[in-house]
Chain A
Amino acid sequence: MSKRNRETTRRIDEHESRLTSLYEEYYDKLVRYVYVHIGDREEAEDIAGEVFLNALKSLRSGQEQGMPSQWWLFRIAHNLTVDYLRRTSKRGLVPADSVVLLGDDDPADTAEKKVEFERLIEAMKKLTAEQREVISLRFLWGLTSKEVGDVLGKSDGAVREMQRAALERLRGIMGVQR
């Protein structure tokens, strides 16, 4: 094997090793990110798994040369989510997850809460993709507004405005009186 081939093999090995670490660190976050956008937990779990398989393909095909990072995975997840939504929009909306709650409430309260959660999932679908992106990165990925701005190419002020607008819209759609 030539020196160049050895170097290439070593680089791919390092990158694949990094990918396995990223899997442990970011799989859960990717599931949540996709779940916010598509509203179906099981599909979100499948898509998050696909993210890593696609990442591996890109590494091996030489399409991706740099060290794998969470942002690269995020980009793949974003693209797969867009593809999924494009496909499913032709078949109608994805049904909301059914949830069984753990709590100290009566079963009647629990059932009411379950309905409320399903309404929230439906309400999330009515936000713009960008608003869902802000909510997902801010509340579930744990980024600051400045970091979300860097990801989306917007100022932190614009992110704060979108964040407030998204939350107000959610309240408006749900019409919840507490």
Chain B
Amino acid sequence: MTEDFDLILDECIDRISHGDSLADCLSDYPAYSERLEPLLQSMYDVQEVYGSAPSADAKRAARHKLYAALGKRYRMPLWSIFRAISRPAMLATVAVLVLAIVGALVVSSVFNPPTLVPSPDGNFAFLISDKPGDINDFENFDVTISEVKLQPAGSKEWLRLTPEIGTVDLTQVQGEQFQEIWRGDVPAGQYSRLRVYVTETRGNLKSTGQTIDVKVPGNVVHMPIPFEVTDDTVTIYTFDITVVGMADDGTYMLKLQINESGTYQQPKAS
């Protein structure tokens, strides 16, 4: 019985890691759902707390130290690859490496969702906007978005798009203003949700010039709003956020404006 449960829990963890929802898994195992749910919720919590990307500054500093220790950038010279291939013993090594690379590509196709190609006349655009609020306390407030993932309804897979404009200054996109960060073709159909991966949020206060870093747990914002993409219109998706100051301790947080976020359709330019 416990062994069965361990297997089911394990399967659900794998499914959720590949984009399946908690509800789907629970509905497949109704007899275990009461026991499964809190454990899977703990998994979500662990991923939310620990799964965020390290700060961009720390990563840059670590890279800088590594390259400083290396002294120069090392690259394997092309001639040495050809020389190596000419030796029979190395041929076997190369064959193993090729197999490893093919294996890695297969694994990577499972874990890395396909990336959509941007195009100026595409049927989908992703915009960033900012509801006016405490953003006026800031000279500038940069939000860096590394990627956006979309999940087609009923699918376990995600589609990925990489913003052409990664960093947006929220002070410049208040109210009706916005910044389009990606436009391209997305397969037509229903989409159940979207995730926005935020790697850096930093602003400079007008009053003191102080730089404020705002941490985003998991560095990901979940947008549970379903939407539809069609071939004959442009679906505009607006991601609206605002900066809110916490009166008690002078810190700031980012707040998702769920009511201001979502999609609308525009005729496609002919």
Whether A52 pairs with B62 at a CB distance below 8 angstroms is yes
User: Whole-angstrom distance between the alpha carbons of A142 and B50 in the complex?
Assistant: 13
CA gap between A44 and B54 in the complex, in Å: 9
A120 touching B66 by the CB < 8 A rule? no
- The answer to whether A20 touches B51 (Cβ under 8 A) is no
C-alpha gap A27/B257 in the complex (Å)? 33
- Residue pair A31, B253 in contact (C-beta under 8 Å): no
Q: Are B39 and A120 in contact (CB under 8 A)?
A: no
Q: Does A42 contact B (CB under 8 A)?
A: yes
* A56 within 8 Å of B (CB atoms): yes
Q: From residue 201 to 227 of chain B, which have CB atoms closer than 8 A to chain A? A: 201, 214-217, 221
Contact of A56 among B6, B13, B70, B76 (CB under 8 A): B70
B54 and A45 contacting across the interface, CB-CB below 8 Å: yes
B38 touches A160 (CB 8 A): no
Give the segment of B119-127, B173-181, B230-238, B244-252 that binds chain A.
B244-252
Interface residues on A, range: 35 or more
| Residue A66 lies at the interface, judged by CB distance under 8 Å to chain B | no
B242-267 at interface with A (beta carbon < 8 Å): 244, 246, 251-258
- Asked if A138 is at the interface of the complex by the 8 Å CB criterion, the answer is yes
Residues of B within 8 A of A10 (CB): 80
Q: State which size class the interface on B falls in.
A: 35 or more
Q: Are B76 and A178 in contact (CB under 8 A)?
A: no
Which residues of B are found within 8 Å of A163, using beta-carbon distances? 6, 9-10, 13
Query: Would you list which residues of chain A between 23 and 62 have a CB under 8 Å from chain B?
Result: 23, 27-28, 31-32, 35-36, 41-42, 44-46, 48-49, 52-53, 56
The answer to whether A100 and B214 touch across the interface, beta carbons within 8 angstroms, is yes
Q: Which residues between 1 and 57 of chain B lie within 8 Å of chain A, taking CB atoms?
A: 2-3, 5-7, 9-10, 13-14, 17, 37-39, 41-43, 45-51, 53-55
Judge if B89 is at the interface, Cβ distance under 8 Å: no
Known: A14-B76, A17-B75. A42 touches B58 (CB 8 A): yes
Please name all residues of chain A whose beta carbon is closer than 8 Å to the beta carbon of B254 when the two chains form the complex: 102
B5–A45 touching, CB < 8 Å: no
Asked if B50 and A36 make an inter-chain contact with CB atoms under 8 angstroms apart, the answer reads yes
Q: Which residues of B contact A160 (CB under 8 A)?
A: 6-7, 9-10
Inter-subunit contact A100/B252 (CB<8 Å): yes
With a cutoff of 8 Å between Cβ atoms, the chain A residues found around residue B78 in the complex are none
Which chain B residues border A174 with CB–CB below 8 Å? 42
Contacts of A110 in B (CB 8 A): 253
Q: Which of A121, A145, A178 contacts B41 (CB 8 A)?
A: A178
Report how far A17 CA is from B13 CA in the complex, Å.
Answer: 35
Decide if B14 touches A144 in the complex (CB within 8 Å).
Answer: yes
The answer to whether B47 touches A139 (Cβ under 8 A) is: yes
Whether A117 touches B217, Cβ cut-off 8 Å, given contacts A49-B58, A160-B9, A178-B38, is yes
Q: Contact flags (1/0) for A83-125 with B, using CB distance below 8 Å?
A: 0000000000000000111111001001000001100110010
Give the chain A neighbours of B7 by CB distance below 8 A. Answer: 160
Q: Which residues of A contact B269 (CB under 8 A)?
A: none
Give chain A nearest CB distance to B124 CB in angstroms. Answer: 23
Contact status of A168 and B39, CB under 8 A, knowing A110-B253, A135-B46, A142-B17: yes
Tell me the smallest distance from the CB of A26 to a CB of chain B, in Å.
Answer: 12
Task: Supply 7 further A-B pairs (C-beta < 8 A) apart from A117-B48, A138-B13.
Answer: A17-B74, A56-B69, A102-B214, A104-B258, A139-B13, A161-B6, A170-B46
Which residues on A are within 8 Å of B, measured CB to CB?
10, 13-14, 16-17, 19-20, 23, 27-28, 31-32, 35-36, 41-42, 44-46, 48-49, 52-53, 56, 99-104, 107, 110, 116-117, 120-121, 124, 135-136, 138-140, 142, 144-145, 157, 160-161, 163-164, 167-168, 170-171, 174, 176, 178
Q: Hey, which bits of chain B sit against chain A, CB under 8 A?
A: 2-3, 5-7, 9-10, 13-14, 17, 37-39, 41-43, 45-51, 53-55, 58-59, 61-63, 65-67, 69-70, 73-76, 80, 111, 198, 201, 214-217, 221, 241, 244, 246, 251-258
Would you give 11 A-B contacts (Cβ < 8 Å), ordered by A? A10-B80, A27-B62, A32-B50, A53-B65, A56-B70, A99-B217, A102-B254, A104-B255, A104-B257, A107-B253, A167-B39
